[in-house]
Amino acid sequence: MISVAQSQVGYCEEGGNNRGYHVEKYLRSVGFEGGYAWCSAFVAWCLNVCVVNHSVTAWSPTAVSRNVIWERGKGETPEAGNVFGIYYNSKGRVGHAGFVEKWGKKYAHTIEGNTNEEGSREGDCVLRKYRHHSMIYRVSRW
């Protein structure tokens, strides 16, 4: 799983506005065309490539709605290939999702779609990020 996500690192939107060859490939995997937020679609595409049975859609809460192994600091230690979600109080829900690449003592190394160097959920690339565990709300193992 994680090798598929790693193979996509560095792919970015083309022309902005959630568009471009790779972004639209991720969005098509969940039944959407270009122009939509795509972090969860990136997760779904990777799961599809690995032929993993899942219920992840374009809506980021679905990426961590089932098979939860870790929540708010409690549970099993997440592993490479597990899916994480970040909760946004302003939305009242998970608003961003991606893959755990490595779980450290305080930080998770992640691979995320629709992010940027600042770690935004409205970015434009698939990138590696470092997220403090306190930022991560929930982790699922698909």
> What does the pLDDT look like over 50-101, one tens digit per residue?
999 999 999 999 999 999 999 999 999 999 999 999 999 999 999 999 999 9
**Domain at 2-140: CATH code:** 3.90.1720
For all residues of the chain together, what is the average pLDDT? 97
What was the pLDDT predicted at 54? Answer: 97
> What does the pLDDT look like over 104-136, one tens digit per residue?
999 999 999 999 999 999 999 999 999 999 999
What was the pLDDT predicted at 96? Answer: 98
What's the whole-number mean pLDDT along residues 12-25? 96
Radius of gyration from C-alpha coordinates of the chain:
13
Residue with tokens 């939305």: 91
> What does the pLDDT look like over 42-59, one tens digit per residue?
999 999 999 999 999 999
Enter the pTM of the model: 0.97
What was the pLDDT predicted at 23? Answer: 98
Q: What angle do the packed helices 21-28 and 39-49 form, to 10 degrees?
A: 70
For strands 138-140 and 68-71, give the pairing: antiparallel
33 or 71, which is more confident: 71
Domain boundaries along the sequence of the chain: 2-140
H or E element in which residue 103 lies: strand 93-103
